[in-house]
């Protein structure tokens, strides 16, 4: 059997988790040959990045595109996921972006739609009629209720819970351990703080925190240098 040659975009902790998911998939059924990691800018590689399996930057991808079958995004920030996807879809239109789902992820495959490049972490539990958009990520330990929709590039962080009928907009972030109550929505580019409980719809681009979740209010600048 021919294994799909796959490269992970990113080299830090999230990329290492995606590499683990791929390893676990292969333990269940040989599917991929993981070549390593690439980053957009080698000058920004830091101490949290894995260098042992670092292959290069986007120029390396371009020079070896015919030796690679698939890509996966190992970056946890929604805006970065969307940017990377747009750049690399344009540069490599024939490249495959498979769904990377840890074998422990559970959901109704008969009624769930998963877009290209979706990442499902270990222990994700979904139910029925889910719609997970391209390049979205459900991090480990998430719970997702019936008819929930998660937009392109959105990220639901570890241990968060989306109740039935919840809508998460494109590029939104739901923080670790947060809860979004039934039929509520989180707008495009919005952010829900860790541990928050969303009881009302969150508008586009708004950050909410707390229980119940409320918008973060910007503090006015200090007067005469006094806070």
**Which positions are catalytic?**
146
- φ, ψ of residue 186 to 5 degrees: the values are -120, 115
**Which residues touch 168 (CB under 8 Å, ≥6 apart)?**
136, 148, 149, 150, 151, 154, 156, 162, 174, 180, 185, 186
Which residue is associated with the tokens 């498979």?
98
- Measured distance CA(40)–CA(55) in Å, rounded: 11
Which residue is associated with the tokens 């991929």?
32
**Count of Cβ atoms closer than 10 Å to residue 67 Cβ:** 10
**What is the β-pairing status of strands 131-132 and 161-162?**
unpaired
Spatial CA neighbour of 124 closest among 147, 101, 150: 101
**Count of Cβ atoms closer than 10 Å to residue 227 Cβ:** 7
Q: Burial level of 4, CB count in 10 A (0-12/13-18/19+)?
A: middle
């Amino acid at each position: 059997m021919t294994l799909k040659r796959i490269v992970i975009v990113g080299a830090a902790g999230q990329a290492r988790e995606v590499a683990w998911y791929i390893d676990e998939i292969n333990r269940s059924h040989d599917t991929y040959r993981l070549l390593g990691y690439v980053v957009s800018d080698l000058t920004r590689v830091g101490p949290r990045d894995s260098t042992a399996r670092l292959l290069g930057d986007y120029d390396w991808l371009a020079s070896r595109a015919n030796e690679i079958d698939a890509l996966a995004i190992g970056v946890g920030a929604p805006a970065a996921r969307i940017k990377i996807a747009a750049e690399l879809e344009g540069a490599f239109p024939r490249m495959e972006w498979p769904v990377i789902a840890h074998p422990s992820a559970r959901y109704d495959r008969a009624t769930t739609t998963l877009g290209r490049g979706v990442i499902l972490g270990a222990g994700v539990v979904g139910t029925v009629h889910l719609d997970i958009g391209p390049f979205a990520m459900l991090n480990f330990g998430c719970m997702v209720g019936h008819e929930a929709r998660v937009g392109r590039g959105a990220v639901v962080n570890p241990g968060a819970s989306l109740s039935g009928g919840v809508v998460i907009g494109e590029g939104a972030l739901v923080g670790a351990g947060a809860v979004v109550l039934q039929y509520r929505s989180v707008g495009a580019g919005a952010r829900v703080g860790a541990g928050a409980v969303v009881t009302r719809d969150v508008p586009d681009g708004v950050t909410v925190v707390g229980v119940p979740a409320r918008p973060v209010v910007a503090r006015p600048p200090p007067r005469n240098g006094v806070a």
